[in-house]
């Protein structure tokens, strides 16, 4: 591979051999060196070899090795004659992040954080096999799949503002529950309103630095030390099963393609094929499930906070998906294209004036919520015009791992990690100790570095830095 530097935060892997487009990597020199240590750059190249890929294969500063696509990968294909690839979206369809503001300050919340975490843990099931309090009938589940947060609104779990200030208003209209298998539905029916495990978490945070006061204020973050709540989770077993079902179906339908692929998880279907259309409808339904999930969790978070602070008001900032494909219009090589924009471990970062973003954010551009790892900072960025031009309106999604779970468990004891966090005034409540070891802050890339690259490249600009007061996880 021939890598050349475009600027301090952008590198290009030149188009050669079977590549249809170059790879553009948003990274500084230090991150690029880290990227060379796993297979992610090769994965960026493999994506660049896919037929019909438009413009460039993009990799974000938090990229690391994934299935087919690296995590932190973005690619565009025409809806008319391109393709759709489930691996370019990920197993956890609409894994994403939601940010809520509160009317509370760090000084009010810190002394009560243990009670708040207890209350949250009581209301929101986390961890393996954790069943929801909501047991949905098959008809109700289909309704959630088809209408996402609309269903939540009708049932009283959501306010109108929650829907307005959510990507896609919390439901993609092309969803069709009929395209989701019984297997997937059996996994999802008892999981609505649950957090899951692994790197999913719920964090109580405070604004520690405001970089752009005007934009932060429009987003709802008006003062330093204002307390916020961040929710990071996805479509649970249902979404994972949808991805798996369609990967297998595409494999059976296109065995010749399968044979030639460098990685099997790159299997794709022509965009206009029946399979592709069905996958997209199923993906939309799984995405709706994830939004409904984050909404039900939001409802429970509000209840938990009110138990400790009766006057607590939790309002939405935004909710972003970072594993999804969207039908979007982009200017590529001076031509307008309607594309399937695949974002796998990457977040939409639309700038001012885009019709897809809420009225409230038309002048600023959309909020981009970047969760750090447990115990480190998280960030709110804002989308930009530059993102539209340079990265199909996308930026990073988080910190990216550098250490395996196995190595993390060997190196870090959950009790020690917890004690270190508590020394830094971060309380944690987890369903397991190993879950804490695996997610020790040291196993992730430096989030400050990731967002600095995004900011310098202009694809997602710094608005607020948030630091944790307390975390709950599975």
Partner 1 sequence: MKKIKFLEHTADVKYEAYGKDLNEAFENAAIAVHQVITQDKVRAKIKKEIKIKAKTKRALLYDFIEEIVILMDTTGLLISKAKVNIEGEENNYKLNAVIQGDLYKNYECHGAIKSMTYSDMVIEESKNKVKLTIVLDI
Residues 455 and 368: their CA atoms lie apart, in Å, by 12
72 contributes a contact to partner 1 by CB under 8 A: no
For partner 1, which is the closer residue by CB, 3 or 403? 403
3-state secondary structure of 55: coil
Two tokens at 213?
């006061």
What residue has token string 């999802």?
188
List the beta bridge partners of residue 327.
Answer: 340
123 included as an active-site residue: no
Residues 381 and 464: their CA atoms lie apart, in Å, by 7
Binding pattern to partner 1, positions 158-197, x when CB under 8 A? -------------------------x--xx--------xx
Nearest partner of 397 among 60, 155, 105, judged by Cα: 60
* Length of the chain (residues): 474
198 contributes a contact to partner 1 by CB under 8 A: yes
67 contributes a contact to partner 1 by CB under 8 A: yes
343 contributes a contact to partner 1 by CB under 8 A: no
411 contributes a contact to partner 1 by CB under 8 A: no
Q: In the bound complex, what is the minimum distance in angstroms from residue 150's beta carbon to partner 1?
A: 26
Q: In the bound complex, what is the minimum distance in angstroms from residue 287's beta carbon to partner 1?
A: 16
What's the order of all strands across the beta sheet hosting 3-7? 3-7, 10-13, 23-26, 57-64, 71-78, 335-344, 323-332
Residues 139 and 289: their CA atoms lie apart, in Å, by 14
Q: Of 91, 171, 246, 305, which one interacts with partner 1 (CB under 8 A)? A: 91
12 contributes a contact to partner 1 by CB under 8 A: no
432 contributes a contact to partner 1 by CB under 8 A: yes
Q: Are strands 23-26 and 57-64 parallel, antiparallel or unpaired?
A: parallel
Return the range that interacts with partner 1 (CB under 8 A); candidates 137-145, 241-249, 363-371, 458-466.
Answer: 241-249
Two tokens at 280?
């997209």
Q: Of 10, 58, 59, 64, which one interacts with partner 1 (CB under 8 A)? A: 64
Return the range that interacts with partner 1 (CB under 8 A); candidates 55-63, 240-248, 352-360, 452-460.
Answer: 240-248
Q: Are strands 461-473 and 378-382 parallel, antiparallel or unpaired?
A: antiparallel
Which sign, positive or negative, has the C-alpha torsion 32, 38, 40, 46? positive
386 DSSP 8-state letter: H
297 contributes a contact to partner 1 by CB under 8 A: no
> How many residues sit close enough to partner 1 to count as binding (CB under 8 A)?
44
Interacting residues with partner 1 (CB under 8 A): 38, 64-68, 71, 91-92, 127-129, 183, 186-187, 196-198, 237, 240-241, 243-244, 247-248, 251-252, 263-265, 401-407, 431-435, 438, 474
**What residues act catalytically?**
397
């Amino acid at each position: 591979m021939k890598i050349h530097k475009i600027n301090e935060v952008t590198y290009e892997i030149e188009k050669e051999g079977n590549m249809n487009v170059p790879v553009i990597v948003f990274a500084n020199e230090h991150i690029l060196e880290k990227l060379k240590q796993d297979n992610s750059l090769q994965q960026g190249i493999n994506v660049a070899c896919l037929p019909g890929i438009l413009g460039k294969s993009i990799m974000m500063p938090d990229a690391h090795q994934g299935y087919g696509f690296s995590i932190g990968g973005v690619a565009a294909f025409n809806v008319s004659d391109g393709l759709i690839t489930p691996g370019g979206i990920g197993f956890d369809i609409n894994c994403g992040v939601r940010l809520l503001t509160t009317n509370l300050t760090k000084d009010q919340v810190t002394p009560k954080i243990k009670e708040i975490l207890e209350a949250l843990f009581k209301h929101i099931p986390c961890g393996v096999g954790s069943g929801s309090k909501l047991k949905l009938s098959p008809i109700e589940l289909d309704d959630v799949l088809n209408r996402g947060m609309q269903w939540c609104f009708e049932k009283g779990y959501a306010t109108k503002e929650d829907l307005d200030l959510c990507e896609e208003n919390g439901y993609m209209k092309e969803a069709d529950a009929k395209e989701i298998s019984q297997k997937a539905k059996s996994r999802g029916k008892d999981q609505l309103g649950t957090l899951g495990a692994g790197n999913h978490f719920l964090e109580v945070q405070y604004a520690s630095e405001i970089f752009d006061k005007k934009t932060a204020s429009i987003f709802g973050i008006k003062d330093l030390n204002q307390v916020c709540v961040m929710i990071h989770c996805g479509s649970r077993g249902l979404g994972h099963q949808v991805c798996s079902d369609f990967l297998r179906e595409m494999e059976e339908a296109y065995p010749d393609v399968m044979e030639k692929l460098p990685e099997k998880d790159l299997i794709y279907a022509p965009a206009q094929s029946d399979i592709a259309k069905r996958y997209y409808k199923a993906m939309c339904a799984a995405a709706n499930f994830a939004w409904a999930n984050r909404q039900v969790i939001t409802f429970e978070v509000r209840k938990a906070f009110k138990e400790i602070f009766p006057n607590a008001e939790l309002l939405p900032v935004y909710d972003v998906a970072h594993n999804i494909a969207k039908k979007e219009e982009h200017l590529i090589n001076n031509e307008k294209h309607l594309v399937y924009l695949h974002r796998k471990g990457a977040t939409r970062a639309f700038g001012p004036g885009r019709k897809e973003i809420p009225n409230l954010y038309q002048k600023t551009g959309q909020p981009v919520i970047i969760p750090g790892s447990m115990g480190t900072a998280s960030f709110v960025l804002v989308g930009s015009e530059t993102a539209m031009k340079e990265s199909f309106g996308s930026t990073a999604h988080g910190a990216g791992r550098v250490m395996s779970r196995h190595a993390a468990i060997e190196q870090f004891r959950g009790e020690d990690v917890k004690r270190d966090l508590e020394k830094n005034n971060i309380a944690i409540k987890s369903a397991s100790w190993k879950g804490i070891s695996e997610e020790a802050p040291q196993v992730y890339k430096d989030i400050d570095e990731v967002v600095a690259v995004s900011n310098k490249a202009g694809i997602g600009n710094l608005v607020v830095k948030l630091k944790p007061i307390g975390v709950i996880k599975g």
